[in-house]
Chains A and B, each alone.
Chain A
Amino acid sequence: MKTIYFKNSNDPPEVEFKVINGVVAASYTVILYEKNSNNIVATFKGNNLNDQPDRYPLPLPPSVNDGRIISLIADFRGLDLDMSKKFEFRLNVYQDSQPAGFNAEIGTITGKPQTSLMYVKLIMN
């Protein structure tokens, strides 16, 4: 699990699903877990084929997110197996519109439905 540090500023941290490489259709869910618990604070759902932003603000004040875990579950499928054979997805965290860090998964597009799973732990500086 990747640890990402953020500040206690006015703006909340934001989390984003991003396809860096790979021509794929992806449907994803970002889950925000309570600190040291399996209780879910928030879920964010989307896909990469529409023009809606895939970036979501976390709850305010920023300090409530200290110690929380974010998981990304993305189900995807390659759309151009001739030209696009590798994928790279990122779970980005931003604060004050600046990157705070990310976790990434890189792999091979198989031509079958696939799943990407990533975790990030948020720690306040």
Chain B
Amino acid sequence: MKKSNSILICCILFATMNSYAQVNPEIDTSLVKNLTQNFAVPDLPAFNALDVAPGNLLRPSTPKEFAVVAGNFYGGNTIIIPKSLAVEVSPILITKSKSLTIQDYQKCPAFYNLRISVGTLRDSTNASKIAIGLRTTIFDHGDIKYKSNLDTVVKFLEKRNNGRVEYITKNLKTPGDDAELKKLSSEYDALFNDTLNYVVEKGWNAARLDVALAYVGASPDSTAKNIRFSSLTFWSTLALPIKRNGQLLIGFCLINSGSTDKSYTTLSLPVRAYFGNNGLKGFLEGQYTYKQSDQTNQALVSLGCEYKLTNSVWAQFSAGMNRNFTDNTSNLTSDFRLIYTIPGKL
């Protein structure tokens, strides 16, 4: 497993180097690959299905072509090589990267946003789990590639351009140093800049809806032939904006777990509220869970924060308490994860 993690990390480094080394003589903004946004990397179904985090919320965000998440950094009292790792790719966005136009993308964003993730986990007994996840974004009002968002930008620029051309042609002036024209433009910009900024840069908290499915197989050792069904998880998460600096996530998670002869259902209803900006935000989370396997009702409350370390690396930390109302026990929970994505285009 350590070897496979090392190979994966090498692949990530190579992909990063490759993306920075590209020489792009011309930028065709009508292609989807050139319109990327550096919002938070969404949760990966194959990672969350491994049951490494206390909550069952699958966070939606604008899709990335490639993302990696690593968790379980704690080994007793020391930080160790992560025990769980997941990779998510958008196969259609990657394979059609050089030719997919915004107009094609807008015809069926849910299809182009389809993402596949693969994750692994090993525990202290060397037992392994492997997860395969599939997700898509049903709608994403924060995606700059969406028709309504681009139309807002284009309409503003068209009006600005038309006003400028009309002024120049009517007044027959050289436009370069015309103070009156500059004044007109700045007044016009002031009216629309806030809306434009929000559409282009601050859509991290826009309304979104993601659905995802993940299959988890477990093996008592690291051999593939011993993998058996462990669980099947379905998520649906709706994100709604709270004014300009907040976001509310309302989730639904259904897990079917067990073996071939006996299976159990777990139902979770998580809610999370973010406050902050794209680069740094805190969150408060609550979750109700019913586990059929031991007939328990549980509630989780946690606080956390998310920080953009660089354009490609995000860190997320949360801590909270899980209360089991059936046997009246409580336990503390914590989660730290690093999420990596390739900045810009592939």
**Using a CB–CB distance below 8 Å, which chain A residues touch chain B?**
18-29, 31, 38, 40, 43, 45, 47-51, 73-84, 111-113, 115, 117
CA–CA, A50 and B101, complex, Å: 8
Query: 1/0 contact trace for B153-177 toward A, CB 8 Å?
Result: 1101110111011001100100110
Q: Which of B26-34, B113-121, B212-220, B286-294 forms contacts with chain A?
A: B26-34
Bound CA–CA A73/B168 (angstroms): 10
A54's closest neighbor in chain B, by CB? B30
Q: Are A47 and B157 in contact (CB under 8 A)?
A: yes
24 contacts between A and B (CB under 8 A): A20-B27, A23-B27, A26-B29, A26-B157, A40-B169, A47-B154, A50-B102, A75-B157, A75-B164, A78-B200, A79-B153, A80-B34, A82-B38, A83-B36, A83-B343, A83-B344, A111-B201, A112-B193, A113-B185, A113-B189, A113-B192, A113-B193, A113-B196, A117-B175
Closest to A40 in B: B169
Enumerate chain A residues within 8 angstroms of B169, measured Cβ to Cβ.
31, 40
Asked whether, in the complex, the Cβ of A22 is within 8 Å of the Cβ of B27, the reply is yes
Whether the Cβ atoms of B168 and A21 lie closer than 8 Å is no
CB <8 Å contact, A23 and B34: yes
Q: Is the CB of B189 within 8 A of A112?
A: yes
Contact residue among B29, B154, B193, B201 (Cβ-Cβ distance under 8 Å from A81): B201
B150 within 8 A of A: yes
Which residues of B lie under 8 Å from residue A112 when comparing CB positions?
A: 189, 193
| Minimum Cβ distance to chain B for residue A16 (Å) | 12
Number of A-B contacts (CB under 8 A): 111
Cβ–Cβ < 8 Å partners of B29 in chain A: 19, 23-26, 48-49, 79
User: B196 contacts A18, CB within 8 Å?
Assistant: no
Asked if B160 and A75 make an inter-chain contact with CB atoms under 8 angstroms apart, the answer reads yes
Query: How distant is the Cα of A117 from the Cα of B344 in the complex, in angstroms?
Result: 28
Tell whether, in the assembled complex, residue B157 and residue A77 are in contact, meaning their CB atoms are under 8 Å apart.
yes
With A48-B30, A83-B343 as given contacts, are A29 and B150 in contact (CB-CB < 8 Å)? no
Q: Which 10 A-B pairs have the closest CB atoms?
A: A27-B157, A83-B344, A75-B161, A75-B160, A27-B161, A27-B158, A25-B153, A29-B165, A38-B172, A75-B157
Residue contact A21 to B311, C-beta cutoff 8 Å: no
Query: Once bound together, how far apart are the Cα atoms of A24 and B28, in whole Å?
Result: 10
CA distance A112 to B153 in the complex (A): 12
B positions within 8 Å CB-CB of A: 25-30, 34-38, 101-103, 144, 150, 153-154, 156-158, 160-162, 164-165, 168-169, 172, 175-176, 185, 189, 192-193, 196-197, 200-201, 311, 343-344
A84 to B197, CA, bound (A): 16
A24 to B36, CA, bound (A): 11
Identify whether the interface residues of A are mostly helix, strand, loop, or mixed. strand
The distance in angstroms between the C-alpha atoms of A56 and B135, with both chains bound, is 43
Given A47-B157, A83-B344, verify A117-B176 contact (CB < 8 Å): yes
- Which residues does chain B contribute within 8 Å of A74, judged by CB atoms? 161
The residue that A73 contacts in the complex, of B101, B164, B196, with Cβ under 8 A, is: B164
Nearest-neighbour CB distance to chain A for B153, whole angstroms, equals 5
- Flag if A77 contacts B27 (CB, 8 Å): no
> Which residues of the other chain, B, contact A22 by a CB distance below 8 angstroms?
27
Complex Cα spacing A25 to B157, Å: 8
Given contacts A18-B26, A25-B157, A49-B29, contact A80 B37 (CB under 8 A): yes
Bound: A40/B168 CA distance, A: 11
Inter-chain contact B175/A27, CB cutoff 8 Å: no
> Given A28-B161, A50-B30, A82-B311, 5 more contacts at CB 8 Å?
A19-B28, A80-B35, A80-B37, A83-B344, A117-B175
Q: Are B30 and A51 in contact (CB under 8 A)?
A: yes
With a cutoff of 8 Å between Cβ atoms, the chain B residues found around residue A19 in the complex are: 26-29
- The answer to whether A27 touches B27 (Cβ under 8 A) is no
Question: B171 — nearest CB in chain A belongs to which residue?
Answer: A38
A95 and B290 alpha carbons, distance in the complex (Å): 72
Does B36 contact A73, Cβ atoms closer than 8 Å?
A: no
Most buried by B among A20, A74, A81, A115: A115
Q: Which residues of chain B are within 8 angstroms of A20 by Cβ–Cβ distance?
A: 25-27
User: How far apart sit A1 and B150, CA to CA, in the bound complex (Å)?
Assistant: 33
Inter-subunit contact A83/B311 (CB<8 Å): yes
Q: Which residues of chain B are near A111, meaning CB under 8 Å?
A: 197, 201
Which residues of chain A are near B196, meaning CB under 8 Å? 77, 113
